[in-house]
Amino acid sequence: MNRPVLILAALLAGCTPLLETGDKLERAITPPDGVNYAVTRPEGGFRLDTQDGRFASKVELLAVRKSTTKGGFTQVQFDLRNASFLRQTANFGFEWLDAAGSVTEGQRGWTPTPLEPGQITTVTAVALRADSAECRLRILDR
């Protein structure tokens, strides 16, 4: 038997917790551009675009609410739940779209948000331009 196979066999025999090892391996395999999107729809509801299925299976999008502020700007709230038994950290960002689907404004960078097991978190965004009608929530595993 060659040496790498022996090392792997030792890891699987219990020298290192499998959950921790598997989690580290999954993170190494996940592509760096594995951004998940939730996009509001004009008729209500939302559409999901999942690029990182591993993370999407741990964090669920429960509901999306869209309303208009007193000033006439669009506001959205996304309710997310950590469905795993481990703490997750998600990075959130927003892009606003006009009625034709073109990006009107976007958030630079990411907002890191810790999600405790079973916790429901509401992420809120308000458009800064009147022609911003729909919102695209970007979600990236830390």
Predicted local distance difference test score (pLDDT) of residue 33: 55
Residues 26 and 79 in one domain: no
Domain check: are 36 and 25 in the same one? no
What span, in angstroms and rounded, lies between the C-alpha atoms of 97 and 84?
31
- Is pLDDT at 16 greater than 60 in this prediction? no
Kindly report the CATH number assigned to the domain that includes residue 81.
Answer: 2.60.40.3230
In this structure, the answer to whether residues 11 and 55 fall within a common structural domain is no
Domain of 81, in residue numbers: 32-141
- Phi then psi for residue 9, to 5 deg, are -60, -40
* pLDDT > 90 fraction of the chain, expressed in percent and rounded: 49
Question: How confident is residue 30, by pLDDT bands cut at 50, 70 and 90?
Answer: very low
Spatial distance between the Cα atoms of 109 and 87, rounded to a whole number of angstroms = 22
- Please report which confidence band the pLDDT of residue 25 belongs to, taking 50, 70 and 90 as the band edges: very low
- 84 and 104 in a single domain? The answer is yes
Encode pLDDT of 62-107 as tens digits: 999 999 999 999 999 999 999 999 998 889 999 999 999 999 998 8
Give the chain's domain count: 2
pLDDT tens column, 41-60: 998 888 888 888 887 788 89
- Please indicate, yes or no, whether residues 22 and 36 belong to a single structural domain of this protein: no
Task: Tell me: do 107 and 120 sit in the same domain.
Answer: yes
Task: Report which of 14, 66, 76, 74 is spatially closest to residue 43, judged by C-alpha positions.
Answer: 66
111 and 62, same domain (yes or no)? yes
CA distance 126 to 68: 9
Based on the domain organization, do 76 and 14 belong to the same domain? Answer: no
